[in-house]
Amino acid sequence: GAVVSQHPSWVICKSGTSVKIECRSLDFQATTMFWYRQFPKQSLMLMATSNEGSKATYEQGVEKDKFLINHASLTLSTLTVTSAHPEDSSFYICSARTSPEQFFGPGTRLTVL
Amino acid sequence: QKEVEQNSGPLSVPEGAIASLNCTYSDRGSQSFFWYRQYSGKSPELIMSIYSNGDKEDGRFTAQLNKASQYVSLLIRDSQPSDSATYLCAVTSGTYKYIFGTGTRLKVLA
């Protein structure tokens, strides 16, 4: 299957700081990437759809100014959590689409103190 | 509201048995169907995709799709303890976005 990487795999930060998470498709080009968040014992929640060269489309209830998404190339999308707070602590997972399947990165565990 | 439903489980089966996981969806126009396996603390891993009615087999896994009844199932033959995980059903309906079920937790007892 297609390989998607994420970096970092985990991060601990202080409240009020910003954190950037990178998602890369390693062996294919992805015009569309997705960002999900998952809280313990819950299913994946789609945050936004990221299209190369255009603005991300955010799901209802997701603050676009807090979760900044950039999809600068066909193999790289980034999610920046701005002014992170403890309630932003979660497991963030990206996926990249090779139509119609999505392949997921290994996830980034964010802990905000 | 387009929905995908799964029994949350846990579904417990003895080692070597067949595990049967089911998923129903509300949108009759859904086109693509996927099964993912997610181990605790890890991200989902694609097991099977199916697009047309009938069965699709890959090793110990068989996906079954019945569009008339709006359900998709996953059979795991010769279940192993390493198959213990949460299995997520995902469906697309008109867009590339997935609609996920809440997942079924499978426990294979040694």
In this prediction, residue A1 carries a pLDDT of 66
- What's the CA gap between A63 and A84, in Å, rounded? 12
Is it the case that residue B19 has pLDDT exceeding 90?
yes
CB of B25 closer than 8 Å to CB of B82: no
Helix (H, G, I), strand (E, B) or coil at A12: strand
Cα–Cα dist A31/B3, whole Å: 26
Look up residue A101 and give its amino acid.
E
The distance from CA A80 to its chain's CA centroid, rounded to whole angstroms, is: 8
Question: By CB neighbour count within 10 A (0-12 exposed, 13-18 middle, 19+ buried), where does A86 fall?
Answer: exposed
Exposed/middle/buried for B103, CB within 10 Å: 0-12, 13-18, 19+? buried
User: Is there a contact between A107 and B97 if contact means CB atoms under 8 Å apart?
Assistant: no
CA distance A14 to chain B (A): 23
Minimum CA–CA partner of A36 in chain B: B43
Please check whether residue A7 touches B, CB under 8 A: no
Distance from CA of B106 to the nearest CA of A (A): 14
A57 inside 8 A of chain B by CB: no
- Tell me the per-residue pLDDT of A20-74, one tens digit each, with 9 for 90 and over: 999 999 999 988 999 999 998 888 999 999 988 888 999 999 999 999 999 888 8
Nearest CA in chain B to A94: B43
Question: Are A10 and A25 a contacting pair, CB within 8 Å?
Answer: no
Helix (H) or strand (E) holding B88: strand B85-92
In this structure, the dihedral spanned by the alpha carbons of residues A48, B95, A91 and B101, taken in order and rounded to 10 degrees, is 140
Nearest by CB: B44 against A32, A49, A104? A104
Whether A43 and B34 lie within 8 Å, measured CB to CB: no
Is the pLDDT score of B1 beyond 80?
no
Interface contact flag, B43 A102, Cβ < 8 Å: no
Question: What are B37-95's pLDDT values in tens digits?
Answer: 999 999 999 999 999 999 999 999 999 999 999 999 999 999 999 999 999 999 998 88
- What does the pLDDT read at residue B6? 95
Burial class (CB in 10 A: 0-12, 13-18, 19+), B70: middle
